[in-house]
Amino acid sequence: MSELVKKNASELVELLQSGEITSVELTHAFLDRIEKLNPVLNSYLHVNAKEALATAVEVDRKRAAGEKLPMLAGLPIAVKDNLTTTDAPTTAGSKILEGWIPQYDATVVKLLREEMMPILGKTNLDEFAMGSSTEFSAYGPSKNPWDTGRIPGGSGGGSSSAVAGFLAPVAIGSDTGGSIRFPAAVTGTVGTKPTYGAVSRYGLIALASSLDQIGPVSRNVLDAALLSDVISGYDKHDSTSLPESLGSMAEAAKSGSLKGVRVGVIKELNGEGFQPGVKARFNESLELMVKAGAEIVEVSCPSFEYAIAAYYLILPAEASSNLAKFDSVRFGMRVTPEGNPTIERVMAATREAGFGPEVKRRIILGTYALSSGYYDAYYGSAQKVRTLIQRDFDAAFEKADVLVSPTAPTTAFKFGEKLEDPLAMYLNDIATIPANLAGTPGMSIPNGLATEDDLPSGIQLLAPAREDKRLYAIGAALEALHEAVWGKRMIDFAPEVKAGA
Amino acid sequence: MAKAELMNYEQALEKFEVVIGLEVHVELNTNTKMFCGCRNDFGDEPNTNVCPICIGLPGSLPAVNRKAVESSIAIGLALGCEIAPNGRFSRKNYFYPDLAKNFQTSQYDEPIAFEGTIDIEVPSGAVYTVDIERAHMEEDAGKLTHVGGNTGRIQGAEYSLVDYNRAGVPLVEIVTKPVYGAGAEAPELAAAYVRSIREIVKALGVSDARMERGNVRCDANVSIRPHGQEKLGTRTETKNVNSLRSIERAVRYEIQRQAHIIANGGTITQETRHWHEDRGITSSGRPKSDADDYRYFPEPDLVPVQPSNELIEQIRASLPEKPAERRKRLQGEWQFSDLEFRDVVNSGLLDELEETVAKGAKPQAARKWWTGEIARLANAEGKDVADLAITPADVAELATLVESGKINDRIGREVLQAVLEGAGNPAKIVADRGLEVVSDDGALQAAIDEALAKQPDVLEKIREGKLQAAGAVIGAVMQAMKGQADAGRVRELIIERANA
Amino acid sequence: MSELTPDLVRHLASLARIQVTDAEVDRFAEQLSLIVESVATVNSAVAGDVPATSHPIPMANVFREDLVEPSLTQEQALSGAADSDQGRFRVAAILDEE
């Protein structure tokens, strides 16, 4: 295997810029590894080899000609398959969109093209990003490179397994309740959900519009920062996009320190239901931070108790409406029943055949939550819980600069373990959901292996809205402390994925 | 779909009180659609003014048109409404193939304007105050074409075709509160109300306001209840009434239909009904099973609209005069009788008249030309006055020519005809054709001499006081002058001669 | 709180235009009842006067200027459609034959 693919993106960028490697060479290295390991990991639903190489050739030509290039030009990237791309099918992990070639590029995809980053392909996800394991993808689950019998997290398990398995140096994810951060935690990678509105959602196939946010998936904090600086910024196509710049995350990551930082431990996210090994690693990290000059304070966020309940009302409600457009008329699958069916029956049959069970479950739940007579009790109350959670965050950030918790209660579970128990599946997101409800940024960074199963655990950092720089500064500092203790990156502990027979 | 049994209208009104409510949709004439930059022009080739947003492609997001918001505020202010300090959009969820996202982005619990009033005058001269409940912004749907079956109707069609050019066109829906007490004039009030809304949005310049193109559409709610009963009757909502005349007819029809049903012990079904212009009836619409549950919720992809006081006051200051005030002012300026003025208003010629007067015609002359000869010619050709090839400037010129005595009324009518045939403007026609009245007394005296020679006893009769005897001579002179003489002057000269 | 009976699930599925088998109805009714029971706790969380948050980051008055932007071509617009005819999207009859 080419050692090139294992390097951090920031190193690869330097090698590209200095001319030590070409983009074609680098892109080929990843394409080769994809060819070899994607049949095992199923990280990618579609590989865009030709288009990626065309971009790489262009970058190399321009570099050779001495033309000025964007910072990350030539660095390959993977894109979650719920972002529209005009040169590759976009399925959102659903049968209902099989074969659809979008008529427009998502804003983030446009930015990646302007940055001249070769797009390697589209990564797997739970159908319409509903899930925590990729088991709800209509195209089969992705595998965790640490143990292919286990889930890579979800919904963005395709991006996490691609980055953890060295099938891409960085990737784009989307996070509605933890879909970037949970996969990062269980694959030993870095996943960041920016402040709501920091990255344009235009072209992101909506799950829950008021919760969805696009963010970087990477193997290290600086890589995430470099990518964040490319994809962030105001977009007139997204009315919820933040008009102001949040500054350079790369600079924040390079200047990180823990000295004098008040680190808030959320009481409600450090107790029952957390795997002992996950908790042990978490407590060790707190000690490390104290040694580096941080101060640990305990904060209480009592309304977090209701976060999952509010989330599983708001998400299905918004999703039931967002997914109504999948009706067989303008794009996507059409199933026509026998006889001379009406359009109503064609739509119902198409949606029956095109949507998987979890999507149907959530659409029906959301339809219920919005129904007349139930709205106030369900959707209305859930929106009020959102306010309470924001108030909890506000109070906590009075006492602390960042909040921390384990990213997820457990390490990667085995396929099938929670498939028939939706409520158990929903609990994976207990620590990540509050940030989506409040619109605040969150980051999961590798936090060592849980002793009982030798699988990765993650620590989550949370900052106030628009203070994403704190995550990068403190995340990079903590990462450096970890790597000093471990003597290498956490991803370097991962076993080599074996190619299929 | 048969014509329902109807109760005689007078009888229905003896037994029942009528309550109406009107929902008028006004299509704004912005350059672009409500939520995307596609051209607001749905007459083009199908599906050419569409983009990922208005055909609801996955991942697309709406962005609110500033001009549409400002136009909506202007409409609200013109209707005397309050403007909401915090308005927002909601999603109205229902499946229909002309609705690209299967939800309509609309305002629901927080409309941009609410609580207004407008005074409406009906043809009898009575004035009713109509309370406006709200005016809210929403997007139009695409256009369906039904193929197969007969006459392109939805019933019996084999399949349908969808053009989304109209999808996302900005609409303002204006909803009245229930209107009581119009009695027999309820149908006229409904039509006069819609006419007023048209005038307002046209004067504001926010809509082309052409009903035949669907720029202004009306749904009429009608219910009746026995006199003295407090509880409102069950209402029907008649859709697709797209001319002032059909609004009036549809409301009258519903009153008579409902009266017959109730008088015969039946009950009214709360339903949507469709107006059929050709047959003059309403028919029961398709019962919509989803209609009771639109699952409204705040549109998460859009942020609230919070117009500042500065913006509201700026728009208020730029509002044109209110139609009712304008009418009052013009009637005063022109010194028309109520009857004369109403005639002008009911003919829909107020704008034309005002412009004609502005171009120098005397108000009465302008009125006579527009509501008299011009309206007659339009009627004879089965056209709207607006469609005739004559401008207020032409009419003003014509009226001035007659007023100054350069031509007489009869020649004036001839000139008008020539203008309509495209011969140019009145002054040019008069000059080209040498139609100017002969005002040279010498030429007239010669013609009088000639006529008197044939009727020698006329002067004697005039001297005896029989002035009408002059008529025969005047006629002969006018004939000799080919009409191009001022008959009054001819008469004066004959009388002078008799008394000489 | 109303129970998620199979009949209600059938009604909701019909509102959401999803054809469901009887077996699916029963399974969804069972699973969703548990979920609803769990999410209904939001009610107990919000005693008192708490405003609703529908946008995580409060903003207002985000407008687009009334300027025409390029549209798709008709061919592009129809490119993803299952069926089209005469430049339009083609769909099955809206009403049943009566």
Q: Which domains does chain A have, with CATH numbers?
A: 3-253+441-450+467-493 (3.90.1300.10)
Q: Which of C8, C18, C79 sits opposite A348 (nearest CB)?
A: C18
Confidence of residue A453 (pLDDT cuts 50, 70, 90): very high
Q: Are B350 and B344 in contact (CB under 8 A)?
A: yes
Residue C1 lies in a domain: yes
Q: What is the model's pLDDT at position A352? A: 97
Looking at residues A117-140, what average pLDDT do you find?
98
C32: Cβ contacts below 8 Å, ≥ 6 apart: A361, A364, A365, A368, C4, C9
Nearest CA in chain B to A322: B101
Residue C97 lies in a domain: no
- Mean pLDDT, chain A, rounded, equals 96
Nearest CA in chain C to B297: C54
Nearest CA distance, A65 vs chain B (angstrom): 37
Residue C90 lies in a domain: no
Chain A residues with CB under 8 Å of C82 CB are: 328-329, 332-334
Is the model's pLDDT at B458 over the cut of 90? Answer: no
Looking at residues B229-243, what average pLDDT do you find?
90
Count the Cβ atoms, other than its own, within 10 Å of residue A348: 24
Residue whose tokens read 């965790």: A144
Strand pairing report for B271-276 and B90-93: unpaired
Looking at residues B44-54, what average pLDDT do you find?
97
Q: What is the model's pLDDT at position B378? A: 85
Is the model's pLDDT at B288 over the cut of 60? Answer: no
Residue A454 structure tokens = 């030798």
Residue C93 lies in a domain: no
Is the model's pLDDT at A162 over the cut of 80? Answer: yes
Residue C92 lies in a domain: no
Q: Give the integer Cα–Cα distance in Å for A253 and A240.
A: 26
Chains that touch A (3 or more CB pairs under 8 A): B, C
Annotate B58-75 with b (16+ C-beta within 10 A) or e (fewer).
bbbbbbbbbbbbbbbbbb
Cα–Cα distances in angstroms (integers) from residue B85 to residues B28, B182, C58, in the given order: 22, 34, 15
Is the model's pLDDT at B152 over the cut of 80? Answer: no
Q: Which residue has the higher pLDDT, A105 or A500?
A: A105
Residue B391 structure tokens = 């401008």
Is the model's pLDDT at A387 over the cut of 50? Answer: yes
How do residues A191-200 score in pLDDT, each as one tens digit? 999 999 999 9
Q: Which residue has the higher pLDDT, B316 or A501?
A: B316
Q: Are B160 and B213 in contact (CB under 8 A)?
A: no
Q: Which domain holds residue C16?
A: 1-43
Q: Which of B50, B144, B158 sits opposite C77 (nearest CB)?
A: B50
CA dihedral A251, A253, A254, A257 (to 10 degrees): 120
Q: What is the model's pLDDT at position B490? A: 83
Is A179 annotated as catalytic? Answer: yes
Given the residues A132, A155, A159, A232, the one annotated as active site = A155
The arrangement of strands across the sheet holding A190-193 comes to A44-47, A119-123, A77-80, A171-175, A213-218, A190-193, A442-450, A455-462, A402-406, A262-266, A295-299
Q: Are B256 and B291 in contact (CB under 8 A)?
A: no
Write the burial class of residue B272 (CB in 10 Å: 0-12 exposed, 13-18 middle, 19+ buried).
middle
Residue C7 lies in a domain: yes
Confidence of residue A2 (pLDDT cuts 50, 70, 90): low
Is A10 annotated as catalytic? Answer: no
- Mean pLDDT, chain C, rounded, equals 92
Is the model's pLDDT at B347 over the cut of 90? Answer: no
Q: Are A145 and A497 in contact (CB under 8 A)?
A: yes
Mutation to test the B interface, candidates A94, A327, A333, A350, most B Cβ within 10 Å? A327
Q: What is the model's pLDDT at position C1? A: 45
Residue C16 lies in a domain: yes
Count of domains observed in chain C: 1
Looking at residues A118-138, what average pLDDT do you find?
97
Looking at residues A24-33, what average pLDDT do you find?
98
How do residues B462-485 score in pLDDT, each as one tens digit? 888 887 888 888 888 888 887 777
Is A80 annotated as catalytic? Answer: yes
Q: What is the model's pLDDT at position A333? A: 97
Report the candidate in A272, A264, A213 with the shortest Cα–Cα distance to residue A242. Answer: A213
B80: Cβ contacts below 8 Å, ≥ 6 apart: B116, B117, B118, B132
Complex ipTM: 0.96
CA B46, chain centre distance (Å): 29
Q: Are B103 and B94 in contact (CB under 8 A)?
A: yes
CA A154, chain centre distance (Å): 8
Report the candidate in A263, A299, A224 with the shortest Cα–Cα distance to residue A404. Answer: A263
Nearest CA distance, C74 vs chain A (angstrom): 11
Radius of gyration of chain B (CA): 30
**Percent of chain C that is helix, strand, coil (3-state, to 5):** 40, 10, 55
Mutation to test the C interface, candidates A242, A246, A323, A364, most C Cβ within 10 Å? A364
Looking at residues B79-97, what average pLDDT do you find?
96
Report the candidate in A244, A234, A246, A286 with the shortest Cα–Cα distance to residue A406. Answer: A286
Is the model's pLDDT at A373 over the cut of 90? Answer: no
Looking at residues A471-481, what average pLDDT do you find?
98
CATH code at position C10: 1.10.20
Report which secondary-structure segment, H or E, holds B22: strand B16-27
Given the residues A7, A80, A122, A143, the one annotated as active site = A80
Looking at residues B290-305, what average pLDDT do you find?
88
The dihedral through the CA atoms of A153, A159, A163, A167 has a sign that is positive
Is the model's pLDDT at B289 over the cut of 60? Answer: no
* B102:A375 CB<8 A: no
Residue C34 lies in a domain: yes
Structural domains of chain B, ranges and CATH numbers in brackets: 9-315 (no CATH), 345-433 (no CATH), 441-499 (1.10.10.410)
Instruction: State the count of interchain CB pairs (< 8 A) between A and C.
Output: 186
Q: Is the pTM of this model over 0.90?
A: no
Report the candidate in B415, C42, C95 with the shortest Cα–Cα distance to residue A304. Answer: C42
Q: What is the model's pLDDT at position B471? A: 83
Looking at residues B190-215, what average pLDDT do you find?
92
* A196:C57 CB<8 A: yes
Q: What is the model's pLDDT at position B155? A: 79
Chain A residues with CB under 8 Å of C32 CB are: 361, 364-365, 368
Confidence of residue A285 (pLDDT cuts 50, 70, 90): very high
Nearest CA distance, C79 vs chain B (angstrom): 12
3-state secondary structure string across C29-67: HHHHHHHHHHHCCHHHHCCCCCCCCCCCCCCCCCEECCC
User: What is the DSSP code string of B265-286?
Assistant: T-----EEEEEETTTTEEEEPP
Is the model's pLDDT at B2 over the cut of 80? Answer: no
Cα–Cα distances in angstroms (integers) from residue A57 to residues A28, A62, A73, in the given order: 11, 9, 11
Report which secondary-structure segment, H or E, holds A214: strand A213-218
Phi/psi of residue A77, each to 5°? -150, 155
